[in-house]
């Protein structure tokens, strides 16, 4: 078996499991899909070794690394790699440049009678493969943008399409002032890497037309790649039209009922209060656009709905709050934006009609 592997495309197409032995601080900045951080050194250990490297050179730094990661600590880390390999027999190994850390990890695994292949060039080389793929991806597909007012169910319908990419899912954000989730947003690098994975996979499946939800330049704290912005902003728009009562139900379910369940499962001492704070913070973020009077009105409606939930357990009064936000904030803003791009609107229709139309033009 070869010790090194650099067929990065096959890693993408097979969603190959990866062991990332870099320090946690490196992993948080950016990693790859299906990668698990099982570091050979902690952040503190890496910091100490880095100082030693600067002051005393490579040999002394390696020596210190072996001292810091030895005995029970070494055994625990090697066992974690072996456990991952047991669960994922095709796993590969990488560090930043495919150098000492992954090579040492590979050797330690070998001492336990096992073999694992490491990425040639490590994280840097794999990232170096993905970036040009992302930059040039727009040459390989024709985008269709799925638009529609807030609550129309765009994400729900998008997930039913094989030739669609869910940008909000990749960003772990719902793309609005109320879109923040409990779990942290994807890092910019992770967003780019995961998007590139999907673009390569869709191209390999033979899709020349890809559907994306109508997004701005930013999705929460992540932003669209520069190569995407001009292409997306000038692509055909398909508008999903959904009756207001259905939009209220969809929005209520996602932002109230399911969101509260997520808070319940996240270990908060007072989950309802934590959810309430997140909603109130979101309303405050749109205060300037709403104006003082409307802000006071929507806040009062929300407080009444919250009181009713605490009293009776009913979510019904939140419908009034949702309808107010849709009609007084989201709809006027969306209609204004769509009016400026009306020349791009290729089709309008219900969910079933939108699906039929997109199938007809693939």
Q: What is the mean pLDDT of the chain?
A: 94
Q: Is the pLDDT of residue 198 over 80?
A: yes
Any bridge partners for residue 37, and if so which? 20
Catalytic residue among 95, 195, 290, 306: 95
Active-site residue, 52 included: no
Per-residue pLDDT tens over the stretch 69-91: 999 999 999 999 999 999 999 99
pLDDT of residue 2: 58
Query: How large a percentage of the chain has pLDDT more than 90?
Result: 85
Q: How many CA atoms lie within 13 A of 206 on its CB side?
A: 1
pLDDT band at 31; cut points 50, 70, 90? very high
Q: State yes or no: pLDDT of 35 exceeds 70.
A: yes
How many whole angstroms from its chain centre is CA 243? 29
Cα separation, 153 vs 180, whole angstroms: 18
- The pLDDT score that the predictor gives to residue 211 is 96
Between CA 161 and CA 88 the distance in angstroms is 29
* 182-191 mean pLDDT: 90
Nearest residue to 3 (alpha-carbon basis) of 104, 112, 88: 104
**pLDDT over 80 (residue 229):** yes
CA 56, 109, 43, 188 torsion-angle sign: positive
Paired tokens of 236 = 């055909």
- Residue 261 has a pLDDT of 94
User: Mean pLDDT throughout 95-105?
Assistant: 93
What confidence score (pLDDT) does residue 361 get? 84
């Amino acid at each position: 078996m070869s010790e090194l592997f650099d067929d990065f495309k096959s890693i993408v197409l097979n969603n190959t499991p990866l062991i990332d032995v870099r320090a946690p601080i490196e992993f948080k900045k950016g990693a790859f899909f299906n990668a698990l951080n099982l570091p050979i050194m902690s952040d503190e250990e890496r910091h100490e070794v880095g100082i030693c490297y600067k002051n005393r050179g490579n040999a002394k730094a390696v020596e210190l690394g072996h001292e810091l990661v030895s005995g029970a600590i070494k055994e625990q880390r090697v066992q974690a790699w072996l456990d991952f390999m047991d669960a994922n027999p095709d796993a590969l190994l990488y560090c930043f440049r495919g150098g000492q850390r992954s090579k040492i990890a590979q050797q330690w695994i070998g001492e336990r009678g096992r073999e694992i292949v490491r990425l040639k060039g490590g994280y840097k080389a794999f990232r170096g493969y993905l970036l040009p793929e992302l930059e040039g991806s727009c040459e390989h597909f024709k985008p269709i943008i799925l638009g529609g007012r807030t609550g129309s169910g765009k994400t729900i319908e998008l997930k039913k399409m094989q030739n669609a990419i869910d940008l909000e899912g990749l960003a772990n954000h719902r793309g609005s002032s109320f879109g923040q989730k409990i779990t942290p947003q994807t890092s910019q690098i992770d967003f780019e890497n995961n998007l590139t994975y999907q673009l390569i996979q869709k191209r390999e499946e033979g899709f020349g037309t890809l559907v994306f939800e109508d997004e701005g330049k930013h999705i929460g704290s992540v932003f669209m790649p520069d190569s995407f912005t001009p292409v997306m902003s000038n692509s055909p728009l398909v508008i999903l039209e959904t009756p207001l009562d259905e939009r209220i139900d969809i929005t209520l379910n996602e932002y109230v009922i399911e969101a509260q369940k997520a808070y319940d499962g996240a270990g908060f001492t007072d989950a309802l209060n934590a959810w309430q704070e997140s909603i109130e913070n979101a309303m405050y973020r749109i205060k300037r656009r709403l104006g003082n009077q409307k802000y006071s009105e929507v806040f009062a409606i929300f407080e009444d709905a919250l009181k009713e939930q605490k009293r009776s357990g009913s979510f019904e009064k939140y419908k009034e709050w949702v309808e107010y936000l849709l009609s007084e904030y989201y709809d006027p803003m969306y209609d204004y934006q769509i009016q400026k791009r009306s020349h791009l609107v290729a089709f309008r229709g219900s969910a079933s009609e939108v699906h039929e139309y997109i199938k007809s033009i693939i």
